[in-house]
C-alpha cells in the first residue's frame, strides 16, 4: 500500500529535522575542536565526533 501524501510529507519533515540536527552536531564538534586545542586526547575526541557527524549528515542527505 502506498503512503498517503500526509505521511510522506511527515517522513520528509523527519528527515529534514534529522539533517538540521546533524548540521548542529557538526557545528558543535567544530567548537569542541577549537576549545580542545591544548589537550591531544580532547582533540582526538573532537575529530572523531566531527567525523561521525559528517558521516551521519552524508547518510541522511543520500536518503
Cα distances (angstroms) measured from residue 51 to each of 36, 41, 60 = 16, 15, 14
| C-alpha cell belonging to residue 23 | 548540521
Residue 1's pLDDT is 47
Q: What is the mean pLDDT of residues 20-37?
A: 90
CB 29 within 8 A of CB 53: yes
Residue 33's pLDDT is 84
pLDDT digits (tens, 9 = 90+) for 29-51: 999 888 887 889 988 998 999 99
Tell me the average pLDDT of the chain. Answer: 87
The pTM assigned to this predicted structure is 0.74
- pLDDT category at 5 given cuts 50, 70, 90 is low
Residues 6+ away with beta carbon under 8 Å from 42: 32, 35, 36
Amino acid at each position: 500500500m502506498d503512503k498517503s501524501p500526509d505521511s510522506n510529507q511527515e517522513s520528509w519533515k523527519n528527515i529534514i529535522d534529522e539533517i538540521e540536527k546533524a548540521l548542529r552536531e557538526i557545528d558543535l564538534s567544530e567548537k569542541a575542536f577549537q576549545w580542545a586545542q591544548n589537550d591531544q586526547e580532547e582533540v582526538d575526541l573532537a575529530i572523531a565526533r566531527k567525523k561521525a557527524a559528517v558521516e551521519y549528515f552524508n547518510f541522511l542527505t543520500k536518503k
